[in-house]
Amino acid sequence: MRGQDTQVGFNEVNWSYLAKVWPYFLEFRLRILLALLCLVGAKVASVGLPFILKYIVDQLDGANLADQATMAMVTLPLGLLAAYGLVRFSNVLFGELRDTLFGRVTERAMRRIGLEVFRHLHSLDLDFHLNRRTGGLSRDIERGTNGIGFLMRFMVFNIVPTFLEIGLVIGLLWWNYSGWFALIVLFAVLIYVGFSVLATEWRTKYVREVNTAESKSSTRSIDSLMNYETVKYFTNENFEAEHYDRELATWEGARRKNRLTLFALNGGQSLIISLAMTAAMILAASNVVTQAMTLGDFVLINAFMMQIFMPLNFLGFVYREMKGSMANIENMFQLLDQKPAVTDSPNAQTLRVTAGAIRFESVGFHYSPDRAILKNVSFEVPARHKVAIVGSSGAGKSTLLKLLFRFYDVTAGRITIDGQDISQVTQHSLRAAIGVVPQDTVLFNMSIFDNIRYGRVDASDEEVYDAIRLSHLDGFISQLPEGADTLVGERGLKLSGGEKQRVAIARTILKRPPILVFDEATSSLDSKSEQSILQAIKEVSSRHTSLVIAHRLSTIVDADTIIVLEQGAVVEQGAHSELLALGGKYAHMWEIQQRRTSSSDMPESPVIPRAAS
C-alpha cells in the first residue's frame, strides 16, 4: 500500500506523553500477551511462506513433464501445496486473532481516557469555558482518543513487526544466499526510512496548514449554526456563507499543496523500492542462469522482496500517522494538564446547611487588577428570608451569584453559609445546596419532561409532574400534541423565552435545595405569566433562603431586604418602604420604572399629519 495523506495535526511532538498512555493498557496484560504471541505466530508463518513456495517450484521444475497425463497428479507436490495453504491461512488467522484481542484493549483505553477528559472539562472553571471554541475542542478530543487507538495498534503491530521481519529476512538471505542480497535489502531499508523521515518533516508545515484550516472552518460552521437565530435576525445568511467559503478556500489551497508534496513523497518511496527490487531480481536471475541458484530460489527472493517492501511502503504512512497521533494525544493531554482556577482546598469539608444563612463579608473581586468589579461588599441573607439585589447594568449583581456558586473565588473578604466559609467546603456540596434559575436558560435537546427531571435525575415521575404544576407549566404542556414528551430542540429553541424560564423554575423546584437563587427569573414573561410565576416562586421560596437579582422592582417589593449596588459597592439596603422613604438611588429607580409603566398603559396618541406647506 502506498503512502497516504493524513488529516491529523503535526507539531513538535513531545513523546513523553506516550508514558501517560501505557497505564490505561495495563488492565489487560493477559490479552496483550496473547496478542503478542499471535503476532509472533503470524510473522513466523509469513517468513515460512517463501520457503514453501521455493520447494514447490523446485519440485515442479524438476518433475518429468513429458510423463503421461495420468501421471501428472502423482508428480504434484500435494503435501507442500497443502502446507502452503495451511501456513497462509495461519498467517491470516493469527493476524485476525491479534487484532481481535488487542481491539478490546484499545477500545477500553479510548473509553477510559475519553471519559477522563470529559470529566476534567466539567471540572474546569467558567473562565476556561467562556474562552473555549467548542468546534476546535471537540476535534481535539475526537482526534486524541482516535490517535491513541491508532498509535498503539500500529506501533505494536506494524512498526515493531516490520523491522523484526526485515531483520529475519536479512539474516536468512545472508545465511542461505549471497551477502549481496542482504546488503541490497539493508541499504534500501536505510535509504527508504531516511528519505521518508526527511520528506515527512518537510511536509509537516503543509499538513499543519491543512489541519489549521480544517479546524477554523469546522469552528466557524458550528459557531454559525449554534447562533442560527441571530443569523436570521440580521439576514446574514450570505455573509455567513461567504465567510465559511473563505475558510474553505484556505482549506482547499492547503490541501492542494499537501497533495503535491504527498506525490513527491510517494514517488520517491516507489523509486527506492523499485530500484532495490530490480537490483535483487537481476542478481537472482544471473545466479539462476549460472545455476548457482534454482528457479525456486529466484521465486523465494522475489517473494521476500515483495514481502518486505510492501509493509515498508506502508511504513511511510504509518510514520506520518504516528507522529500526527502523538501530536493529537499531546493536545488532548494538554487539556488534562489544564488546571482549574477554582479548586477544593486539601481539607475541604462537606457543606452542612442547617438554616441557610448567607453572609458576604467585605467581599472584593476583580477579573484583572486594574478593574475592580466588587468593592468591600457586605450584607447578610438571614435564614428563610428573601433578599433582593438591584442596580444598574454592570453594577456587579450577577457577579455576586457567580461568587456564591464559586464559579470564581473572591479576591478579598469571604462568603459564608451558616458560618462556613464556602472556599473551605467542597464545590459539589456547595452547588448541591443552591438552586439557580438563570436569566438565560439553555436547555438540552430532549423532552420537556427530561429537561425538568435534570434537576434531580433520580426523581419519580410524580415528583416531576408536581414540579410542573408548581411552576404553572401544566397549562402550556396540555396544549402540546405530545405533552411533556415534546422535544425542545437545540438549546431549547422550540420554546419561547418565558416557556424556557418556566422549565428552569420547574427544574429548580424539583431539586428542592435549601437556598434558591433567581437571576432575572421573570425577565422573559408577560405581565400575566409573571404574576403566576411570582406566586409560584413565593410558594416555593417561603421555606427557603432566597437571593433574587431583579431588574423590574415591582417583582421584589415583598423582599425582606433589598440591596442596592452601584459600581460594585452597596449604596443602600433596607425594605422597599424604607428605601422609598430615603429618597435615594432606589427611590429614583422606582420612580423611573413607575413612570414607564404608566406611560405604557396609556392609549397611543393619534398621529396628526403635517399640513402641506
At residue 604, the pLDDT reads: 45
224 and 332 fall within a common domain: yes
283, 311, 337: which is the final residue of a domain?
337
- Ramachandran category for residue 491: left, alpha or beta (phi over 0 → left; psi -120 to 50 → alpha): left
414 and 554 fall within a common domain: yes
268 and 412 fall within a common domain: no
Would residue 5 count as lying in a domain? no
Would residue 543 count as lying in a domain? yes
Average pLDDT, the chain: 79
518 and 488 fall within a common domain: no
The average pLDDT across 168-195 equals: 83
512, 528, 555: which is the final residue of a domain?
512
469 and 507 fall within a common domain: yes
Amino acid in position 498: G
Report the DSSP pairing between strands 545-549 and 515-519.
Answer: parallel
Would residue 583 count as lying in a domain? yes
CATH number at 360 reads 3.40.50.300
324 and 471 fall within a common domain: no
At residue 598, the pLDDT reads: 65
Helices assigned H by DSSP within 63-178? 72-75, 78-123, 126-131, 134-154, 160-176
DSSP bridge partners of 366? 372
Would residue 607 count as lying in a domain? no
What is the four-CA torsion angle of 368, 373, 376, 382, rounded to 10 degrees?
-130
At residue 606, the pLDDT reads: 41
Contact 450, 502 (CB under 8 A): no
- Compute CA 419 distance to the chain's CA centroid, rounded to the nearest angstrom: 39
499 and 595 fall within a common domain: no
291 and 413 fall within a common domain: no
Q: What is the pLDDT of residues 356-411, one digit of tens each?
A: 899 999 999 988 888 888 999 999 999 989 999 998 887 888 889 889 989 889 99
131 and 160 fall within a common domain: yes
Contact 574, 550 (CB under 8 A): no
Q: What is the pLDDT of residues 49-87, one digit of tens each?
A: 777 777 777 777 665 444 444 444 445 667 777 877 787
337, 359, 384: which is the final residue of a domain?
337
pTM (predicted TM-score): 0.63
Tell me the C-alpha distance between 439 and 304, whole Å: 71
285 and 298 fall within a common domain: yes
At residue 134, the pLDDT reads: 57
Our count of domains for the chain comes to 3
Task: Provide the residue range defining the domain that includes 470.
Answer: 441-512
Would residue 612 count as lying in a domain? no
pLDDT band at residue 18 using 50, 70 and 90 as cut-offs? low
CATH number at 283 reads 1.20.1560.10
Q: Which of 2-11, 117-126, 538-547, 581-590 has the lowest mean pLDDT?
A: 2-11
55 and 189 fall within a common domain: yes
42 and 178 fall within a common domain: yes
Would residue 377 count as lying in a domain? yes
Tell me the C-alpha distance between 574 and 36, whole Å: 76
Sign of CA dihedral 399, 404, 405, 410: positive
Would residue 35 count as lying in a domain? yes
Contact 195, 73 (CB under 8 A): no
pLDDT band at residue 313 using 50, 70 and 90 as cut-offs? low
Q: What is the pLDDT of residues 565-600, one digit of tens each?
A: 998 899 999 999 999 999 889 999 898 888 876 665
Would residue 608 count as lying in a domain? no
